[in-house]
Amino acid sequence: MESVLSKYENQITIFTEYLEEYPNTDELVWILGKQHLLKTEKSKLLSDISARLWFTYRRKFSPIGGTGPSSDAGWGCMLRCGQMMLAQALICRHLGRDWSWEKQKEQPKEYQRILQCFLDRKDCCYSIHQMAQMGVGEGKSIGEWFGPNTVAQVLKKLALFDEWNSLAVYVSMDNTVVIEDIKKMCRVLPLSADTPGDRPPDSLTASNQSKGTSAYCPAWKPLLLIVPLRLGINQINPVYVDAFKECFKMPQSLGALGGKPNNAYYFIGFLGDELIFLDPHTTQTFVDTEENGTVNDQTFHCLQSPQRMNILNLDPSVALGFFCKEEKDFDNWCSLVQKEILKENLRMFELVQKHPSHWPPFIPPAKPEVTTTGAEFIDSNEQLEELDLEEDFEILSV
């Protein structure tokens, strides 16, 4: 035990020394909607970063599909980044953004359950097995590199089979977020209102609901909002930099998926014009549940130095993530977007109230009537909501 503690104490020392290399500045560091003053809050910054679940390449897991690869080294980095973004949403969903992790400290049972959603086993709902096999339905062979939009579509479909977390996953199209569609998807009737006669009239307004004047006030399904974007042709257009950074300041922020060609990173914040990210390009051995049903989580948190990249070196294909646990969180996000994103002459994306008339009708995705897992379902895509991939959103191959 002492040797284990010594190992991680050394890692913390390395991390702290690395932070000394950060510029001695009064600038704030923003991490997923929270700010840290670098001069006086380095330990808090370390704690905040190390609390994020960190998913990397793994080896020696059961072959994907029975005969496929038993390691995702070299091809699974974007899938791992998607896992990290989703895991952050689940942490916010069950434990809250202010939850902190400490090594060797007993954690809430919800934390263990979240972690088990991502183990590298075919029966875990967001495992590398499930994501890779669901990607086949998106035109990606097992072992083929994903772009950010493909990962978003895969997470959207897998979430349909995840009853415990019960997330509504909305992936924007054509750089446009539609408020009407999101509210249609996230507003769900209470369990007691399950007969036609119990349903609220169509004329019931959101203002009446918020004031509590009706017994039929719908519940809100927690929202994972993913916005795939292309912010330039071959490199990011500098006109988008300020708006991109503003997204990390929003309390709903889940960061961004992106990186460089065929090298994906999970961006969690920024300092000045440098993005801070978690890097999945470390190959670790598969970890399974122990005899007592828990997971040893020591390799699922990054205690090493945080890495940084100048924002202008970012590939222009990215996907922003946001989590809105309640409807008021989404309304607040809309206000922030109106204030900080839509003020730009060249907007990073659009936020509109009504569903565009020239688009196909919006139908909220629903779990298909099958008894399989998502991975086994990939040959029956017509039973899932089909969204055409926009290849322009994929990170360019070199």
Rg of the chain over all Cα atoms, to the nearest angstrom: 21
Name the one residue in this structure whose structure tokens are 């322009």: 392
Residues 126-149: tens digit of each pLDDT: 999 999 999 998 899 999 888 999
The predicted-structure confidence for 172-211, as pLDDT tens digits, reads as follows: 999 999 999 999 999 987 655 444 444 444 433 443 444 4
| Within a domain: 359 | no
The secondary structure of 119-182 as a DSSP string is: SSSTTSTTSHHHHHHHHHTTT--TTPPPPHHHHHHHHHHHGGG-TTT--EEEE-BTTEEEHHHH
| pLDDT mean over 165-172 | 96
pLDDT band at 217 (very low <50, low <70, confident <90, very high): low
Q: What is the pLDDT of residues 372-386, one digit of tens each?
A: 444 444 433 333 334
Per cent of the chain over pLDDT 90 is 64
| 129 catalytic residue (yes or no) | no
Of 6, 15, 51, 55, residue with least CA distance to 300: 55
Assigned domain for 380 exists: no
The pLDDT-based confidence of 216 (bands split at 50, 70, 90) is: low
Q: Looking at the domain assignment, is residue 10 inside a domain?
A: no
Inside any domain, residue 271: yes
Tell me what pLDDT residue 24 has: 66
3 state DSSP class of 368: coil
* Helix, strand or coil, per DSSP, at residue 390: coil
3 state DSSP class of 41: coil
> Which residue did the predictor score with more confidence, 208 or 34?
34
Which of 124, 281, 334, 392 is catalytic? The answer is: 281
Q: How confident is the model at residue 388 (pLDDT cuts 50, 70, 90)?
A: very low
The type of residue at 325 is K
CA nearest to 80, candidates 155, 158, 170? 155
Residue found under tokens 């690869």: 69
Mean residue pLDDT of the chain comes to: 83
**Rounded to an integer, what distance in angstroms lies between the CA atom of residue 78 and that of residue 258?**
8
What dihedral angle (degrees, nearest 10) is formed by the CA atoms of 133, 396, 248, 49? 60
The residue with greater pLDDT, 207 or 287, is 287
What CA–CA distance (Å, rounded) separates 249 from 386? 33
Strands 317-324 and 223-230: antiparallel
Burial class (CB in 10 A: 0-12, 13-18, 19+), 253: buried
**What pLDDT, on the 0 to 100 scale, is given for residue 183?**
97
In a domain, residue 395? The reply is: no
Q: Is residue 177 assigned to a domain?
A: yes
Q: Which of 279, 301, 324, 329 is catalytic?
A: 279
pLDDT for residue 379: 37
What value does the mean pLDDT take over residues 308-336? 96
* Range picked from 34-48, 100-114, 235-249, 368-382 for highest mean pLDDT: 235-249
- Domains identified in the chain, total number: 1
Examine residue 214 and state whether it is found in any structural domain, yes or no. Answer: no
Q: Positive or negative, the Cα torsion across 304, 225, 252, 317?
A: positive
Active site residue 77: yes
Rounded to an integer, what distance in angstroms lies between the CA atom of residue 113 and that of residue 115?
A: 5
Q: Evaluate whether residue 378 is within a structural domain.
A: no
Known active-site residue 26: no
Query: Domain range spanning residue 45?
Result: 23-189+224-352
| Set 77, 81, 247, 302: catalytic member | 77
The CA–CA distances, whole Å, from 278 to 77, 214, 318 equal 11, 46, 15
Length of the chain in residues, anyone? 398
Instruction: Give the sign of the dihedral formed by CA 17, CA 23, CA 24, CA 26.
Output: negative
Task: Answer for the pair 248, 33: CB distance below 8 angstroms, yes or no.
Answer: yes
State the sign of the Cα–Cα–Cα–Cα dihedral 195, 196, 202, 204. negative
